[in-house]
Each structure stands twice: as C-alpha cells, then as structure tokens.
Amino acid sequence: MPDRFRTEIVYFADPLPGERGSYTIDTPKCREILDDGVFRLVSPLDSEGLAEIEISEDQERFLEWVTEYKVAAVKIL
C-alpha cells in the first residue's frame, strides 16, 4: 500500500485506543463501501450533508482483501 494509506485507513477502520497503528475492521461496512464504490464523509462545508468520495484502486484492493478474508483487525507498521 502507498504511504498515504496510513492516513486513509480511518475511512474504513477504527483505531484501537492505546494501540498505535492498530485498527478494527467493520467487514460489513467495508463490503458496503466496496459495493457502492464510494465512502461517505461529513462535508467540512456542510455539516448536515455527506460528501461521497470515490475509492481509489489501492483502497479497492484493500477492501477486497478485507472482505474476502473477513479481516477483523490490522496493524500498520
């Protein structure tokens, strides 16, 4: 994965408190993002609206891996 993925993983996973670089994975949420081809974020310009952002090829590969192997947690070194 490219270095920028270290900052992007929070779109698909939740950090484990007190565990630097460790994240839990919500596999059904990842499947939904993969199926939709987009993830949704609260827009900084409109806190009541969601912005849809298309997933990149790297993000798609990660989501495919997570859902295929039912990954529950990851650690980024």
pTM: 0.84
Spell out the SS3 assignment of 2-15: CCCHHHHHHHCEEE
Mean pLDDT in consecutive groups of 10 residues from the start of the chain, 77 residues: 85 91 94 95 81 93 95 92
Q: Is 8 left (phi over 0), alpha (psi -120 to 50) or beta?
A: alpha
Q: What residues make up the domain containing 29?
A: 5-75
| Total domain count, the chain | 1
